[in-house]
Amino acid sequence: MTNVAVVGSQWGDEGKGKIVDWLSERADVVVRFQGGHNAGHTLVIDGEVYALSLLPSGVVRKGKLSIIGNGVVIDPWALLKEIDELCARGVELSPDNLKIADNAALILPFHGQIDRAREEARGAAKIGTTGRGIGPAYEDKVARRGLRVCDLGDEEHLSERIESLLFHHNAGLRGLGAAEIDGRDLIEKLREIAPRILPYADRVWALLDDARRKNKYILFEGAQGAMLDVDHGTYPFVTSSNTVSGQAAVGSGTGMSGIGYVLGITKAYTTRVGSGPFPTELDDEIGRTLGEKGREFGTVTGRPRRCGWFDGVMVRQAIKVSGITGIALTKLDILDGLEELKICTGYRLNGEILNYFPAGISAQAGVEPIYETLEGWQESTYGARSWGDLPATAIKYIRRIEELIEAPVAMLSTSPERDDTILVNDPFAG
């Protein structure tokens, strides 16, 4: 048996929450390793809908240890709100089954203020951030001026750290014509919240090492998708962290040898939230139909997602850069009833045929998709739990995707419900 890392292979919103929840039945530990509360995972369990932002998707299962790793940026107020809301619905959460890396960076209230002020200043050139301060918090982290969870317990140096932090940020806010931050008020808020956050803090790297030594199964949960990776995505229209599988090791304090199978969650079509290039986008009735049937609205923001055909070039590239072993294909049922389906098999740019997604901004915006047309199916695949329940044309569509992306389908999801899942190859079996 092996540990499993779950990552998105498109622009996020691929259905990672359900798949992680399904896999977490087999896992002993579930670890969130990057992103912030800009990411949203939706779980549907016995008709109950759970929308999670910071908490790992394994929290709804009893007997599991949930961990928020050092690669995550944590808004402590948002985290406590999420904990309180789940506890009110009967989910058991305490420092016994939820741990936070003591070296994880904090999102402070002014980070969101800065985020929103910058987006407003960009005007039509907006990147499409959620305005929740994730980017500015990561900036502070890499600039070595940020606060971390462990700093909440360091009264001796907290004021000094805040003063240094605000010396930098207040100058930027003045330049944007925004209100400056009151350091004394911020320190008071942090002192107030520290006693509620610190009991969850722990040496996550040591906990994971202990779990590995005891041969416990660890599930690493990513947020967003490969095309939003700060290095490998559609830069600058990306998130502020690495979303590919290599971050599972860095963002949890686990060595690369601790991660075995990489499962890439992949939607049977393509969606994207916010600004940025989208070669297969459909601005027509089919695109609107996919959005309506798929309920394509952001879990966190509620923003409508842009919809388009499956992009085999983009997903194949994500497979390579993220080291994906196999994929979990989701939302196949949304394609039910379409007469024909299209898959992007290449791009055309300035008369040249490309079999990869280029890095440059102009090139990404200028590529034209080359499509292959496949026959659709009229039968329903909703709720299918075996290959025998699928129409032959749906199976043909799946097999063609496997050929194009050069990776097998390990799992197939046919509805938001936990049990409407077809297991082809068990990721935990390696």
Of the residues 41, 111, 169, 232, only one is catalytic, namely 41
Q: How far is CA 59 from CA 64, 79, 81, 86, in A?
A: 7, 13, 15, 9
**Token couple for 170:** 């207040």
Q: Supply φ then ψ for residue 38, to 5 degrees.
A: -85, -20
46 is catalytic: no
**How far, in Å, CA of 261 to CA of 283, rounded?**
37
- Say how many C-beta atoms besides its own lie within 10 A of residue 81's C-beta: 14
Q: How far is CA 26 from CA 62, 289, 327, in A?
A: 12, 36, 18
Instruction: Return the HEC string of the chain.
Output: CCCEEEEECCCCCCCHHHHHHHHHCCCCEEEECCECCCCCEEEEECCEEEEECCCCHHHHCCCCEEEECCCEEECHHHHHHHHHHHHHCCCCCCCCCEEEECCCEECCHHHHHHHHHHHHHHHHHCCCCCCCCHHHHHHHHHCCCCCEHHHHHCHHHHHHHHHHHHHHHHHHHHHCCCCCCCHHHHHHHHHHHHHHHHHHEECHHHHHHHHHHCCCCEEEECCCCHHHCCCCCCCCCCCCCCCCCHHHHHCCCCCHHHCCEEEEEEECCEEECCCCCCCCECCCHHHHHHHHHCCCECCCCCCECEEECEEHHHHHHHHHHHCCCEEEEECHHHHCCCCEEEEEEEEEECCEEECCCCCCHHHHHHCEEEEEEEECCCCCCCCCCCHHHCCHHHHHHHHHHHHHHCCCEEEEECCCECCCEEECCCHHHC
Of the residues 13, 75, 333, 420, only one is catalytic, namely 13
The dihedral sign for the CA sequence 250, 253, 254, 259? negative
23 half-sphere exposure, CB direction, 13 A CA radius: 35
115 is catalytic: no
Catalytic residue numbers? Answer: 13, 41
